[in-house]
Amino acid sequence: MSEQSLPPLALSVRQPWAWAIIFGGKDIENRSEGSTRARGMDCRSICIHAASSMREKEYRWALWRLQQDGVTLPRPDEMVYGGIIGMVEVVDIVSHSDSPWFGGPRGLVLSNPQPIDPIPAKGELGYFCWKTGTDFTAPKPWMINYTRTNDDSLTGELFPDAPLSFREPPDKPFGRSSKKDD
């Protein structure tokens, strides 16, 4: 797919959520009440821009959540940061959803994800007109040093191809949570 055939507008989404939208079945992108109206979000085809950052807490929860669906999330240092990675259709904007991905208060309902060869681009808030950049963002040191031998994993490095086992699900990093934030 050529750059010219891609939608002119993009939405910047922090990893691992951008990856989950395009490759993992994430069908809702959560946004605040004000941002959907103030930034002109509506139903249309958009590109998904993988932002230049990711939190380890979000990565752990996405790793667990995607595993529930039989989807293996790549290592954090194997994901794209700072670029367009695909396109989707925004088919609705909701304030309630049964999707396990909904964290509110608003959710963009996504359909028909299509991956593309990544294109470096700088992100912005809300829908934005994207243009090709020069470089992707390099992974942060914690992403490069991430191992499966963290507190959540019972499998560790002894069996690197085994699915992770969690003593308990990691805390959901969006919406309401039962655990205190770090």
Domain positions in the chain are 3-158
Q: Which of 17, 18, 39, 53 is nearest to 126 (CA)?
A: 39
Contact 157, 175 (CB under 8 A): no
Q: For position 85, what pLDDT does the model report?
A: 98
Which pair of tokens denotes residue 131?
Answer: 């243009």
Looking at residue 68, what is its pLDDT? 86
For a pLDDT cut of 70, what percent of the chain falls above it? 80
Q: What is the pLDDT of residue 148?
A: 54
pLDDT in tens, 32-46: 876 665 467 888 999
Residues of the chain with pLDDT under 50: 38, 149-156, 158-159, 176-182
Contact 95, 60 (CB under 8 A): no
Tokens of 109: 């309902």
Contact by Cβ (8 Å): 38, 123: no
Can you identify the CATH homologous superfamily of domain 3-158? Hypothetical protein. (2.30.130.30)
Amino acid type, 159:
F
